[in-house]
Amino acid sequence: MKTEHDDLIYDWNSVEKVTTLSPRRRIQFLDETLRDGIQSPSVVDPKIEDKLELVDLANSLGIDTMDIGLPGAGKRAVDDVTTIAKHIRDKRLAVKASCAARTHINDVQAIVDISQAVGIEIEVLCFIGSSPIRQYAEDWDLPRMLKLSADAIDLGRRYGLPVAYVTEDTTRSRPDVLHKLFTNAVDHGAARLIVCDTVGHATPDGIRNLLKFTRNLLDGTGHSEVGIDWHGHNDRGLGVVNSVFAIEFGADRIHGTALGIGERVGNAALDQILLNLKLLGELPDRDLTNLLQWCQVASRATHVPIHPQYPLAGTDAFRTATGVHAAAIIKAEKKGHAWLADRIYSGVPAGMFGKEQEIEIGHYSGESNVVYWLKKRGYEPTHDLVAAVFAAAKAGNHVMTDAEVTAVIQAHQAKAATR
């Protein structure tokens, strides 16, 4: 549908779209922040109160499923998973619970016990390493892997729990091995196959080849109803873009973590995935108002600082002190055109996510920055005051803090009063 703004931005992203995203099914999202995310060696395991707040925020964002822990890891994990499951039950949240488990009956039984005690369904995410390098390091043989997988899946299904089968390091696994593991899993009742880029190895070409192989296998064996998940890591810096490509190539549930926290350089950043899909028009009715708060709570709870230039949540995401940029924003605002002002120097509209464009004063600024800053804060931008602040900015080598600008204003006012 054409709008009044269409002529102001030419969108090369949509000139020719060969395929639509997720043509087979509705896109779903699985939040790994509370499991894979907190496995980072730099992350603090959040307090249970913070975990519950993250669950509430994920629910408000329409995230479908949360991996709420690995109860096989010990008592603390069991206690936290139980508390979170009760919270989801008592608040009747729409977000569904899942838990990770090795393909070991003790891990699966721990999930079964919590599910029965709390009285809610918990999806079992059974994982096993599938690549040749993992098999060699672990001394695993395929018959043993098939039996471990079948026993774990059978146990979860025996108690009526949905099971998703996770092949770790899928993107470096041989097709003949994956064929046997996948077929074995769905024959024993796995409802989803989770394709993993565990070490961030994949490129978009690799994703296309792997997901085409997986979908053809499922369709060819009569299991076309089985879903395909994509679980990506960010070792090559491709975590977010790979997740978008995975949707285009047939995955219908995408994993990620808040701020991309996770082992090594982290998982795919789910906040950035949601942001991009929103801008691509794939989530037209999704309310992402709380996306920024979700990032901020995750940062506080895990003690992971947000880089100033991190998309959306970074303090610099919508700030500018460059004269030419600020001048364009100011001119747009003077036209009474908020839509234009929010996009003239920003590929992400700040207002769509509860933020606004900020104009600062620094050594690259023009006088228009100073005038804007003063007016925004209720100061009369007289010629002498603007000149004083502008001179202070040009004498420095950084963007001035509010306190620094205020100090210049106060010094100028004191000097004027003396005169």
Q: What is the DSSP string of 247-259?
A: HHTT--EEEEBGG
The per-residue pLDDT for range 322-347, each reduced to its tens digit, is: 878 878 888 877 777 777 777 877 88
The per-residue pLDDT for range 35-94, each reduced to its tens digit, is: 999 999 999 999 999 999 999 999 999 999 999 999 999 999 999 999 999 999 999 999
Which H or E element spans position 331?
Answer: helix 323-334
Q: How far apart are CA 246 and CA 30, in angstroms?
A: 14
Average model confidence (pLDDT) across the chain: 91
Assigned token pair, 310: 């991190």
Output DSSP code: residue 166.
Answer: E
* Cβ atoms of 63 and 28 closer than 8 Å: no
pLDDT of residue 14: 64
pLDDT above 60 (res 131)? yes
With tokens 């364009």, the residue in question is: 328
Q: 24-302 has which CATH code?
A: 3.20.20.70
Per-residue CA distances from 18 to 4, 210, 281 (Å):
26, 19, 16
pTM metric for this prediction: 0.90
194: number of Cβ within 10 Å: 23
Q: What is the mean pLDDT of residues 237-249?
A: 96
Enumerate the domain spans of the chain: 24-302, 319-418
pLDDT above 70 (res 132)? yes
Relative orientation angle of helices 105-118 and 75-90, to the nearest 10 degrees:
40
pLDDT above 80 (res 5)? no
With tokens 């000097």, the residue in question is: 415
Q: How far apart are CA 330 and CA 327, in angstroms?
A: 5
> Residue 100's beta-bridge partner residues?
125
Q: Would you put residue 312 in left (φ > 0), alpha (ψ -120 to 50) or beta?
A: left
Q: Tell me, what amino acid is at 36?
A: D
